[in-house]
Amino acid sequence: MINIEEFISSVVARTTEELYGTSENIQIQKTRKEFEGDYTVVVFPLLRASKKSPEATATELGEKIVATTPEIKSFNVIKGFLNLVVDASFWASRFQEIAEAEDYGMAAPSGRTIMIEYSSPNTNKPLHLGHIRNNLLGYSVATILKANGHNVIKVNLVNDRGIHICKSMLAWQLYGGGETPETSGMKGDHLVGKYYVEFDKHYKQEVKELVAGGMSEDEAKKKAPIMLAAQEMLRKWEAKDPEVYSLWETMNGWVYEGFDVTYKAMGVDFDKVYYESQTYLLGKSLVEDGLKKGVFFRKEDNSVWIDLEADGLDQKLLLRGDGTSVYMTQDLGTALSRFEENKLDDMIYVVGNEQNYHFQVLKLVLKKLGYEWSDNIFHLSYGMVELPEGKMKSREGTVVDADDLIADMIGTAREMSTELGKLDGATEEEAAAICEMVGLGALKYFILKVDPKKTMLFDPRESIDFNGNTGPFIQYTHARIRSILRKAEETGISTEGYANAELLPEEIELIKSLSEFPAVVRSAGEQFAPSVIAAYAYDLAKQFNGYYHDHSILKEENATTRALRLMLAATVASVIRRAMSLLGISVPERM
């Protein structure tokens, strides 16, 4: 299928070569809306070769292109900018290609293998709003990269070990009374999270009592009995104490069952799950290797470090004095094993921006160890999600729980859809499916339309508005078009002969937008940015609604024109569906 941007570039390059003996430094961009034209050639870089004024150069180039290229209808010159007008017949031919393409917008296989890690939860609490942004972002980027022809491996690294896990375990031992998900009626991850909050409550009370007894706050935090007990439990876990290890397996099992329910509700999945308890020792041999090469150094307490001060960073701990691993040790080993086992071309980590420094160090250490593929590690950093009420804190139990948020979104979708009559005539089963689709679509779109790097404020009710830049607006546009197509089928109206219709300027504009979809998918893949897809889907839906407001489809009397408009509507719906699927969002057939 012809790419319009590449076609225009090749035409201009060929013509400048013929006229001026050069095709270097050619700049082409879409013509600004206030001027007539489709694509604009910036002629200033050609002036040295043409030896003419900008206007004369642009005019000469435009005349030659129009004379030799049937697809270019006309041109105009504005202060050294050459605006080219593409002929309507070209857009008609282009539309036919788009309308009849099976995998429109999807690229051919690239041969590249890319691993993307997202989610990375701790097993001491349920998933929350921050995790939702992480999961939706990771899953969408993975889907977009697949659309760009790459072989994508989606992975999750579960943080299932450490002091924070022991805090939940100890609190359950002390205050749980044998409570289980079955006896409590709670999801397993919620139950374990309850005891993480319980630990913090008792810990704070103990610290308060010790301070009242004359101890400094810093010392009290270290010597609080419940904290000392949690640290002892961690030592027992690392020593594989049977009782502690068994409790750890049981409570983690509860959490995994809970996570699976949430992941399914969010519509995300993984090709492989890694567990920190199985990977945290992987990097030790790399550290030994680095010591032999002189990349690392050992301090008097036997700990191992790397000095990155010459690189503008600081000294970084890689192995504690007692030989135990730190996060960096684990990530070094995991990165090496992943690249070697899967023959990766790229590795993407979807992790919040508080870890920017960590990944900067990870890449640099791997580079100093001689691994050139470290240049192909990318940290997809994202900002935090805040609510109108402020920030969230897990320890204090003020986090917005993912399950509760999803349920609230679906409930709000039902409330607003009912008010607006969107569910009229739907069975209860259909209504439930639509509300789930709209509620989740609103949540996903509201989060993914924001540039990942930005901290965002999430307002649930604003996200479900059926007007404006929202998921429900785009979903409703798709449902509206599907309703038109059903009515056409019921009344025997077909798209036969649509290719013979003459195009109105508004129809050419719609076809132009449709033709940009492959480039949008490519751009979103290059930038790891679902927001690029979201902006495109919204603009296309808005543009179609404006067109439909001004031009009747089913009531149009001319059969050829009606066929074209029907095919145009069907193609817009198809591209909206493809675009939204790249965001992990489903679109309803009726609403």
HEC profile for 454-471?
Answer: CCEECCHHHHCCCCCCCH
Whole-number Cα distances in Å, 576 to 146, 444, 550: 18, 15, 20
DSSP character at residue 128: B
Residues 534 and 435 in one domain: yes
CATH of the domain at 420: 1.10.730.10
Lowest model confidence (mean pLDDT) among 13-17, 24-28, 449-453, 485-489: 24-28
Residues 224 and 79 in one domain: no
Residues 44 and 191 in one domain: no
Q: Is residue 16 one of the residues assigned to a domain?
A: yes
> What gap in Å lies between CA 491 and CA 469, rounded to an integer?
33
The percentage of the chain sitting over the pLDDT mark of 90, rounded to a whole number, equals 83
Q: Which residue, of 33, 68, 86, is where some domain finishes?
A: 86
pLDDT value for 192: 97
Q: Is residue 549 one of the residues assigned to a domain?
A: yes
Residues 564 and 416 in one domain: yes
> What gap in Å lies between CA 453 and CA 245, rounded to an integer?
39
pLDDT value for 579: 98
Residue 99 clears pLDDT 90, i.e. is over it: yes
Residues 542 and 429 in one domain: yes
pLDDT value for 390: 53
Per the structure, the count of domains in the chain is 3
Cβ neighbours of residue 347 closer than 8 Å, sequence gap 6 or more: 114, 115, 116, 117, 335, 338, 339, 376, 377, 378
Confidence band of 456 (pLDDT split at 50, 70, 90): confident
Residue 396 clears pLDDT 50, i.e. is over it: no
Q: Is residue 206 one of the residues assigned to a domain?
A: yes
Residues 82 and 188 in one domain: no
Residue among 577, 588, 265, 574 at smallest CA distance from 426: 588
Q: Is residue 29 one of the residues assigned to a domain?
A: yes
507-558 pLDDT, tens digit each: 999 999 999 999 999 999 999 999 999 999 999 999 999 999 999 999 999 9
Q: Is residue 74 one of the residues assigned to a domain?
A: yes
CATH of the domain at 64: 3.30.1360.70
pLDDT value for 2: 67
12-49 pLDDT, tens digit each: 999 999 999 988 888 999 999 899 999 999 999 999 99
Mean pLDDT of 128-134: 92
Q: Which residue, of 41, 60, 86, is where some domain finishes?
A: 86
Residues 82 and 185 in one domain: no
Q: Is residue 367 one of the residues assigned to a domain?
A: no
- Output the six-digit token pair for 152: 């994508």
353-390 pLDDT, tens digit each: 999 999 999 999 999 999 999 999 999 999 988 777 65
- Output the six-digit token pair for 45: 């870089």
56-85 pLDDT, tens digit each: 999 999 999 999 999 999 999 998 899 999
Helices 188-212 and 242-266, packing angle to 10 deg: 120
**Number of helices and strands (H, E) in the chain?**
23, 14
Residue 11 clears pLDDT 60, i.e. is over it: yes
pLDDT value for 3: 75
Q: Is residue 507 one of the residues assigned to a domain?
A: yes
Residues 79 and 168 in one domain: no
Q: Note whether 253 and 188 are within 8 A (CB).
A: yes
Residue 293 clears pLDDT 70, i.e. is over it: yes
Whole-number Cα distances in Å, 491 to 40, 192, 392, 484, 512: 44, 58, 55, 11, 30
Residues 415 and 553 in one domain: yes
pLDDT value for 574: 98
Residues 505 and 415 in one domain: yes
The pairing of strands 72-78 and 81-86 is antiparallel
pLDDT value for 47: 93
Domain that holds residue 18: 4-86
Mean pLDDT of 118-132: 92
Predicted TM-score of the model (pTM) = 0.91
Q: Is residue 360 one of the residues assigned to a domain?
A: no
Residues 174 and 35 in one domain: no
Residue 497 clears pLDDT 80, i.e. is over it: yes
Q: Which residue, of 60, 86, 112, is where some domain finishes?
A: 86
Confidence band of 299 (pLDDT split at 50, 70, 90): very high
Residues 537 and 446 in one domain: yes
Mean pLDDT of 194-199: 95
178-193 pLDDT, tens digit each: 999 999 999 999 999 9
